[in-house]
Chains A and B, each alone.
Chain A
Amino acid sequence: MKRHDIYTLPILIWLSLFFTIPLSITVIMSFMSSTPYGGVTLPFTVGNYVEIMKGRILAILWRTIRISALSTLITLGLSLPVSFFMATSKWKNLLLMATIIPFWTNFIIRIFAWIFLLGNNGMLNNILIQLGIVKNPITFLYNSWAVVVVIVYTYLPYMILPIYSAMEKFDFSMIDAAMDLGATKIRAIFKVMFPSIKGGITAGILFVFIPALGSYAIPELVGGRDSVMLGNLIAWEITTARNWPYATALSNILFVSTALALFLYLKIQGSDGK
């Protein structure tokens, strides 16, 4: 230990106690078995993982990845033009604040807004019924599309902010320069601007994709039978079934999927940068 380590000692202790040790406990517990009364017991076993690989869990894992990837793609598609417009706009500070306000509005309230709009007793159904267009409410929610829309809605600022932040540092006269040298506008954007905002795009994709993988509240509130995600399963195992070893095994699967996604992404990102 060096004398100056005193500065980092508190964080070292805190994060060891409340991050590294809990993660280790989670890994260890996933190799144990549950007792009928909600406890855990030895000996060590891989039974939980075998159980997961056998059943319908793989389908849920695959669906979780699909829903997250689709939401991330849509979010990216919306964020690129919006960030571009914001970064080149006269009112960029105003637009920036306009994106931050929903970001700082409570997460659960933002989900509630969609239940209010599209729910069976929601606003849209009320209007449709009053106009006589339909007799009975249409079920807009409680399917995987609703889950995708609400994920896009709640995580959009997480994608816009890093991309905007990268674009804002970009010198837009470079695009004009490239065009003066004969590049088309599309080509100029791809070849000149894209490389310098790539970091922002990577950050945005990770900020949306990873929390989406761990979604619980959104599929719980606006999803249905066809949109149960890994997070719902984990929560169910913990709160209702009280099978901790099984729940931690599921968590570890989510952890490995996240690490894999991160690794693959950084690999792709690294290779086309050369």
Chain B
Amino acid sequence: METIMNTESIGTEEYVARSAGTEAAMRVRELSVSYDNKETLHKITTEFPKHCITSIIGPSGCGKTTMLLSLNDLIREIQGVKVEGEILLGDKRTDAIPQEELRRRVGLVFQTPMPFPFSVYKNLTYAPRYYGNHNKKDLDRIVKEKLALVGLYDEIKTDLNKSALKFSGGQQQRICIARALTVEPDILLLDEPCSALDVRSISVIEETLLRLKSQYTIIIVTHNIAQARRLSDKVIFLKDGRLIEEGDAAGLFREPKEAETREFLRGIYG
């Protein structure tokens, strides 16, 4: 881990070589994804270090969300999709892990806050109940613990039976993060989780993510470069479905190696 964090930004192959042996929560090798034979991701090889926040950045349509959806196999819900290459969760190929287990271990939070139209309590007990936990005491504990983890318990502890849709956008998004944590994932994927939120909510969510990284590996897709700078330990830059550059956040933002990364960070495109 130290090795990765101390490197400056480097090309893909060199990065992978230098980070070999470090503990990665997830690895991607030669991942290609195409929709209706149109390639969206081309032979991506990278890894996501444990207990770090990795940001995937890049211009619109570069394949960021596709990559995220590939990691917990939600990509296969899309018609006409073809996935090649391999993704490893720990040391195990994800296609060898039962889909249910994979998705439980790799949680995903979407761009728009999307709680189920139930009470907060029911939202947070939805997945544990699905996995057979009907013990009231246990469920109460999960609700309290996960809401506290996202810093929401004290704010809404008296409103647990209120519809989750009645809270502010930022609170709804934190409910969604807490809901994703109720199944005890190893990795938390977030697809532009702050894009629909106001500045204050963004700051609260960012604080939450920074707090969570000690317990979870976090992979976040963001359009907001400043946010990637504030949050990330590692950054992956994609363009036109290709991995252009990756590296530790400080290095990549200070001194990007590739011209395309420099242009993107300067705001020339994207």
A and B form one complex: no
Q: Which residues in B have some Cβ–Cβ distance to A below 8 Å?
A: none
Interface, chain A (partner B; CB < 8 A): none
